[in-house]
Amino acid sequence: MAKSIKTIGVLTSGGDAPGMNAVIRAVVRAACANGINVKGIRKGYIGLLTNDFIELGVKDVADIIHTGGTFLYTARCEEFKMVENQKKGAEVLKENGIDALIVIGGDGSINGARRLLEFGINTICIPCTIDNDIGSTDYTIGFDTAVNTAMQAIDKIRETSTSHERCSIVEVMGRGAGYIALWCGIANGAEDILIPEKYDGDFDGLIKRLVDRIILNREKGKTHHIIVNAEGIGNTYEMAERIEKLTGIGTRATVIGYMQRGGSPTAKDRMTASLMGAYAVKLLSQGAENRVIGLRNDKLTDDDITDSLHMYKDIDNFMYEVSGIMGR
């Protein structure tokens, strides 16, 4: 028989994502509705090691559903990768009377949660990262907002590129995952997208293919050439320099960067955050242990943490094909 849950902890960890505040709000409000106390842990796993806990009630999460960032703060905590610190974190949770922990973050944060289970801590993870790179879910909170931010920036770059008849290389985020680049590629009507899932590591070969396409497109009468580059594929500035030299066409590089991580979450991110936050609490009240929440085919799902970390999500090949056809 699972232990009844009286107090839960909640933390945000890893790269922040629009919608993190909406998840914390949903967790707190759902918990309060079920008579469960909530303690917020600040600065991700750092707060576990430094005992940085705050009580959270209904009013403490007022007026945040529409805000970016995370009011609990987030962090990358290298020390937490050491077993002795994971053990210490588990002890601190127990000392604070925490019966279960809700971890809001990306795959690294889920990995951290899995380590805690080895020290008897029950965790429920909520996928929240702009990268959308968690295998057990079709969707991670923050992705939609980030894509819309990048899309709006690329629309602007497109206008100036057309006016000057230039080529533009725009780098978007994604740390080893091409989802933001793929979505922008289609939504912005980019001529080319470069994503890690389809990159063979041959940078010179890639430059040659791009140069050939840019020249061919110019001959066909295209006035601009937009390349959306997922971070991690070569150096965007070097790429622009080499392309300009080889084509004779003015080429500019833009790295959109951290703009993509901030901003007011879209309706989709607020909705997903609210549903996943409430679902995490529902699972805990039903006695669930060590789950990662997800969305598959638009339905809420939950998988065992260890299983989730072994799941892999492929880029949708048809989407990739479409991006190629549309950019001709």
Q: Which residues of 212-228 are buried (b: 16+ CB within 10 A; e: fewer)?
A: ebbeebbeeebebbbbb
Q: Which residues contact 315 (CB under 8 A, 6 or more apart)?
A: 178, 179, 182, 195, 197, 198
Give the CB-side neighbour count of residue 82, counting CA atoms within 13 A.
Answer: 8
Shortest Cβ 16–ligand ADP spacing (Å): 9
- Taking the C-alpha atoms of residue 102 and residue 39, their distance in angstroms, rounded to an integer, is 10
Q: Could you report how far apart the first and last alpha carbons of the chain are, in Å?
A: 60
Stretch binding ligand ADP (CB under 6 A), from 10-18, 62-70, 224-232, 300-308: 10-18
230 touches 172 (CB < 8 A): yes
**Of the candidates 178, 122, 187, 120, the residue with the CA atom closest to the CA atom of residue 153:** 187
* Residue number with CB closer to ligand F6P (176 or 287): 176
Q: Which residues contact 285 (CB under 8 A, 6 or more apart)?
A: 5, 34, 36
DSSP state of 128: B
Shortest Cβ 76–ligand F6P spacing (Å): 6
Shortest Cβ 107–ligand F6P spacing (Å): 9
Shortest Cβ 30–ligand F6P spacing (Å): 26
Q: Which of 115, 242, 270, 291 binds ligand ADP (CB under 6 A)?
A: 115
75 touches 81 (CB < 8 A): no
89 binds ligand ADP (CB under 6 A): no
Binding mask 27-66 for ligand ADP (x = CB under 6 A): ------------------x---------------------
User: Tokens for 146?
Assistant: 């980030």
Shortest Cβ 138–ligand F6P spacing (Å): 18
13 binds ligand ADP (CB under 6 A): yes
183 binds ligand ADP (CB under 6 A): no
**Of the candidates 72, 3, 58, the residue with the CA atom closest to the CA atom of residue 27:** 58
Catalytic hit among 16, 99, 107, 131:
131
Which of ligand ADP, ligand F6P, none sits in contact with 130, Cβ below 5 to 8 A by type?
Answer: ligand F6P
105 binds ligand ADP (CB under 6 A): yes
Residue 131 annotated as catalytic = yes
122 binds ligand ADP (CB under 6 A): no
Q: Which of 43, 213, 242, 261 binds ligand F6P (CB under 6 A)?
A: 261
User: Tokens for 107?
Assistant: 């795959």
Stretch binding ligand F6P (CB under 6 A), from 55-63, 77-85, 168-176, 263-271: 168-176
Q: Which residues contact 67 (CB under 8 A, 6 or more apart)?
A: 21, 264
Binding mask 202-231 for ligand F6P (x = CB under 6 A): -----------------------------x
User: Tokens for 19?
Assistant: 């919608």
107 binds ligand F6P (CB under 6 A): no
- Taking the C-alpha atoms of residue 45 and residue 27, their distance in angstroms, rounded to an integer, is 18
Known catalytic residues are 131
For ligand F6P, the binding residues (CB under 6 A) are 14-15, 106, 129-131, 173-175, 231, 261
